[in-house]
């Protein structure tokens, strides 16, 4: 009998996106099971508990919350470690060596308060510069210094392409990299960094898994659009 009559009918292509919705749930569940949901200062958090953001819709669910890998803070921590001992050598500086003891003490107070300010600033900027993936949107929150904030938002269905890059020894060792999301209308926002896209998730942990989740979200969105269930 010819093979055409005996061979099983190939799986209908329409079923493929249906599978992707399950894949998405499975991928996020797997991340949660692996302990990616806590603690809240992780570089990659899946389904973070008690996490909300500005302009979040009622039914919108946060799937991923990301920030720069903690290792990227090493440069300023090393700088602080070096600067913290400077007041012990005040007398080595000719200008300071000639002032009275009380002024030297005041200078040391100012020095340590300045360092504390630097630490708090860097800590706040690291912690709150976040990238959020929900079941509807992708949000990139950028804070620069004290007075500048930039929030980029796009719908999942407007994403054209998503990829990631890992460059350098540190990113390979600690498994972090940049996730670059290209949208349909690639607008350039008022972003102060030299980013490849308005939606660049810088130095996030496990970029391959982030790309996988976003890819599955895109497939799910395509399926919903196909079925006329777009939100």
Partner 1 sequence: MITEELVAGISLSLIIGILVKVSLVILTLLALVTVRQAGLMDRVVSVPIGNWFKGVAWGFFWACLVLTTGVILIV
Residue numbers of the site for partner 1 (CB under 8 A)?
Answer: 40-41, 48-54, 65, 94-96, 98-100, 102-103, 105-107, 109-110, 113-114, 116-117, 120-121, 123-124, 127-128, 130, 132, 141, 143, 146-147, 149, 151
Nearer to partner 1, 66 or 218 (CB): 66
Angle, to 10 degrees, between the axis of helix 74-83 and the axis of helix 101-128?
Answer: 170
- Report the residue number, 47 or 170, with the smaller CB distance to partner 1: 47
Distance CA 212, CA 215 (A): 5
Indicate the residue among 25 and 84 with the shorter CB distance to partner 1: 84
Residue 57, burial from CB neighbour count under 10 angstroms (0-12, 13-18, 19+): exposed
Whichever of 53 and 76 has its CB closer to partner 1, that residue is 53
Question: CA dist 76 to 55, 128, 179, Å?
Answer: 33, 17, 24
Best CA proximity match to 134, nearest among 199, 217, 231: 217
Closest separation in Å from C-beta 113 to partner 1: 6
Q: Are 141 and 129 in contact (CB under 8 A)?
A: yes
Which is nearer to partner 1, 112 or 174 (by Cβ)?
112
Min CB(143)–partner 1 separation in Å: 7
Q: Cα dist. 210→1, 131, 222 in Å? A: 48, 11, 18
Q: Minimum Å distance from CB 211 to partner 1?
A: 22
For the CB of residue 185, give the shortest distance to partner 1 in the complex, in Å: 24
Distance CA 204, CA 167 (A): 12
């Amino acid at each position: 009998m010819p093979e055409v009559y005996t061979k099983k009918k190939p799986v209908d292509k329409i079923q493929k996106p249906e599978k992707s919705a399950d894949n998405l749930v499975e991928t996020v569940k797997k991340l949660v099971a692996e302990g990616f949901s806590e603690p809240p200062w992780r570089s990659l958090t899946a389904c973070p508990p008690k996490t909300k953001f500005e302009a979040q819709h009622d039914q919108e669910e946060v799937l991923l919350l990301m920030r720069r890998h903690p290792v990227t803070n090493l440069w300023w921590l090393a700088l602080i470690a070096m600067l913290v001992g400077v007041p012990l050598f005040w007398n080595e500086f000719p200008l300071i060596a000639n002032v009275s003891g009380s002024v030297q003490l005041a200078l040391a107070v100012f020095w340590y308060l300045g360092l504390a300010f630097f630490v708090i600033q860097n800590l706040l900027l690291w912690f709150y510069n976040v990238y959020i993936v929900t079941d509807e949107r992708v949000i990139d929150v950028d804070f620069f210094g004290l007075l500048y904030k930039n929030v980029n938002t796009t719908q999942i269905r407007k994403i054209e392409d998503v990829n990631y890059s890992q460059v350098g020894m540190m990113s390979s060792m600690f498994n972090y990299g940049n996730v670059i999301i290209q949208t349909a209308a690639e607008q350039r926002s008022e972003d102060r960094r030299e980013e490849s896209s308005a939606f660049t998730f810088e130095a996030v942990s496990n970029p391959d898994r982030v790309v996988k989740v976003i890819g599955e979200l895109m497939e799910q969105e395509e399926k919903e659009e196909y079925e006329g269930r777009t939100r």
